[in-house]
Structure 1
Amino acid sequence: MQRAEDDVRDALPALYLKLRRFAFTLTGTEDGADDLVQITCERAIRQACQRDPATPLVAWLYSVMNNAWEGERELPPNTEPVSEIPDHDYRSTMVFEDRLMLRSVRRKILDLPEEQRSVVTLVGLEGFSYKETAEMLGIRIGTVMSRLFRGRHALSRMIDMPSRRSVAGQDL
């Protein structure tokens, strides 16, 4: 039992950025993400002996986080939502235009309904399979596919939608 706790505790620092990015996707705020990561880490250490070794640790942690988020809707009051998901660890190899596009997409992800945000983040940004995502979120694969479809469709509309400008009171 102590060995399982130690293994999880030792792995958490290397997974912090991934956990925080997913937490931010769920909560939409920096403070909320910090709180959710803290709750997740505490629960993961306490529940380490319940983890199935066949499940990748990061997938199990996302599942613990999602369960915490579902059960902890009354997190402490948060600050105003920020306008984008933090860049963190995947910006170093991208060209400038790609980073701008990714930043724009991440901002738009925050405008999606929560259930779509989590699926789009896990499948689209983190690269998990539909099956892994379904297991982490405790939903069916068909639900993952439909939420992902709706989320991608909504993102596509948000990103491709030209901005309307007004000239002398006339919409263009």
Structure 2
Amino acid sequence: MRAQAPINDESAQMVACLPRLRRYARALVGERSGADDLVQDTCERAWARLHTWRQGSDMRAWLFGIMHNLHVDQRRKPGLATTPIDDTGFEASTRATQADALEIRDLETALAQLPVEQREVLLLIALEDMSYEEVARTLGIPSGTVMSRLSRGREKLRAQMQGRPQVNSLKVVK
């Protein structure tokens, strides 16, 4: 029986961020196994580069930045052909009513139809409760871009959920 290494402050902070990392990864990737892989890759990279984390800074934002970069890299490279495993038998919770399940499904569908840039900002602010500045640092974009993407993403999501046709607000200038 091996003795376990004592858990230091950085380890405890990283472990505390796991539920949020997993939730954000699930929303980004859309399926459980891919999200779990993304979280594992994020933790592996963070652990290997823990010396680059500035003591006293927000570890959550640092981890989300790593996850964002990994996700972008994974989207860019072609993936292997895989066969998904049916894991529906492992679901423990059920929705309270059919209407709840339909609304959640519609929301997931509407989120998936948003451009990736808008979906990332919307999820980090609404789901992860990050500030505009934290999102800007995490994604490496200006705060104004965060606000713009959030506004456009919310409007598109609202229109999709209400069944309104999406109107392109861009105008052709001659």
Q: Of the two structures, which has the highest relative contact order with CA contacts closer than 8 Å and spacing of 6 or more?
A: 1
Q: Pick from 151, 155, 158 the counterpart of residue 156 of structure 1.
A: 158
The CA distance in 2 between the partners of 1:22 and 1:156, in whole Å, is 20
Structure with higher Rg: it is 2
User: Where in structure 1 are there 5+ consecutive unaligned residues?
Assistant: 81-94, 163-172
Q: Which amino acid aligns with 1:50?
A: T
For residue 143 of structure 1, the aligned residue among 142, 145, 152 is 145
SS at match of 1:52: coil
1:26 corresponds, among 25, 28, 31, to 28
Aligned to 1:63: 65
In structure 1, distance between residues paired with 2:10 and 2:35: 20
Paired residue secondary structure (1:110): helix
CA RMSD of aligned residues (A): 3.0
* 138 and 65 in structure 1: CA distance in 2 versus 1, 3 angstrom threshold: same
Structure 1 residue 72: deviation in Å? 2.9
Q: Name the aligned partner's letter for residue 36 of structure 1.
A: L
Query: How many Å apart are 1:146 and its aligned residue?
Result: 1.1
Q: Distance between the aligned counterparts of 1:147 and 1:71, measured in 2? A: 21
How many residues get paired?
146
SS at match of 1:72: helix
TM-score, structure 2 length as denominator? 0.70
SS of corresponding position for 1:139? coil
- How far off its partner does 1:111 sit? 2.0
Following the alignment from structure 1 to structure 2, what is the Cα–Cα distance between the partners of residues 79 and 158?
31
Q: What stretches of structure 2 of length at least 5 have no aligned partner?
A: 1-6, 85-95, 165-174
- Paired with 2:83 and 2:113, the residues of 1 have a C-alpha distance of 17
- The CA deviation at 1:45 is 0.5
Which range moves more in the overlay, 100-109 or 65-74? 100-109
